[in-house]
Amino acid sequence: MMRTPFTGLGTALVTPFTKDGSIDEAAVRRLVDRQIAAGVHFLSPCGTTGEAPTLSQSEKVRVVELVVGAAAKRVPVLAGAGGYNTRDVIALAREFERVGADGILSVTPYYNKPSQEGLFQHYTAIADSTSLPIVLYNVPGRTGVNLEVRTVARLSALGNIVGVKEASGNVVQMSDVLAAAHDGFFLLSGDDPLAVAVMAIGGRGLISVASNAIPGEMTQIIELAEKGDLSGARRLHAWLLPFLEANFVESNPIPIKAVMAAMGLIEETYRLPLVPPGPATRDRLSSVLQDLKLLGSASRA
């Protein structure tokens, strides 16, 4: 099947900070270049992995502006604009459109736990406010609300709501979404360990955490699955599975930023309430990296 924008392998980019806690703009540009050189198909800044809840609105706009500029149209940029205040999300989506983002990834409202009708109206209002394509983002383990099949199907009828990033972990629900949604609407895995399984049921790719560190390897898994070589995709997935799982032994993006710092890619700096990983996590990450010989990936295209 022909790949379209925001299908294939997308990286949920970390936001690198300097030691004083400000955005490391030079590191953002370096990370974008490394990702594109490794063959990723699109980039997704300002999501969970990008520590979006700790970024101000102006910082989010600046990060997206940096990613758009560094990408220079080589790959699309799917910018994260979601939250529990619909008006604020609309304002941010318009700013992202202004600075050149190619699409919006919009997580469901969290904390205020709207009804399914509330979710439908929320996304409809966002879709009405921008000409950019919108990818829904369902991650009930973080938000406390599940974007149900019927609601996704209703939203898929809107012209610029083009897909959903599914991180519910519920493969049956994902199958039902694929069966119920309008033609052309796509589903992406939001979980690295489930990517091959999701593509086997008709998913069109992955928005990955692990690809921050190993973009080439994660791209290869998705491209094998796209070609129908599920056996090859499974073999590579099985080899990398200890690393994919280790990235979530503490809250994302704590482990992946620690790994990237160990690889010399970024400073290991977080914003509160996130803090560096504990000793047990560091030991596990170190062991996995050594076992899989991944530390050399920092220098590979």
Tens of pLDDT, residues 11-49: 999 999 999 999 999 999 999 999 999 999 999 999 999
d(CA 246, CA 244): 6
Which pLDDT value is given to residue 40?
98
Helix (H/G/I), strand (E/B), else coil: 23: strand
Which of 65-79, 103-117, 163-177, 284-298 is predicted with the least confidence, judged by mean pLDDT? Answer: 284-298
CB atoms within 10 A of CB 278: 11
Share of the chain above pLDDT 90, in %: 96
d(CA 167, CA 107): 10
For residue 72, is pLDDT > 90? yes
- SS3 per-residue string spanning 151-220: HHHHHCCCCCEEEEEECCCCHHHHHHHHHHCCCCCEEEECCHHHHHHHHHCCCCEEEECHHHCCHHHHHH
What confidence category does residue 1 fall into, taking pLDDT thresholds of 50, 70 and 90? low
Which pLDDT value is given to residue 4?
86
User: Radius of gyration (Cα) for the chain, nearest Å?
Assistant: 18
d(CA 8, CA 206): 6
Burial class (CB within 10 angstroms; exposed 0-12, middle 13-18, buried 19+) of 114? middle
The amino acid at 207: I
d(CA 282, CA 105): 31
Which distant-in-sequence residues (6+ apart) come within 8 Å of 286 by Cβ? 262
**How much is the mean pLDDT over the chain?**
96
Active site residue 113: no
List the catalytic residue out of 137, 257, 270, 293. Answer: 137
Q: Write the pLDDT tens digit of every residue in 247-270.
A: 999 999 999 999 999 999 999 999
Which domains are seen in the chain, by residue range?
8-229 (3.20.20.70)
Q: Which of 191, 216, 188 is nearest to 202 (CA)?
A: 188
Q: Write the pLDDT tens digit of every residue in 142-155.
A: 999 999 999 999 99
The amino acid at 4: T
Which pLDDT value is given to residue 191?
98
Active site residue 165: yes
List the catalytic residue out of 73, 110, 113, 165. Answer: 165
| Whole-number Cα distances in Å, 242 to 37, 82, 103, 192, 245 | 25, 31, 32, 11, 5
φ, ψ for residue 131 (rounded to 5)? -90, -5
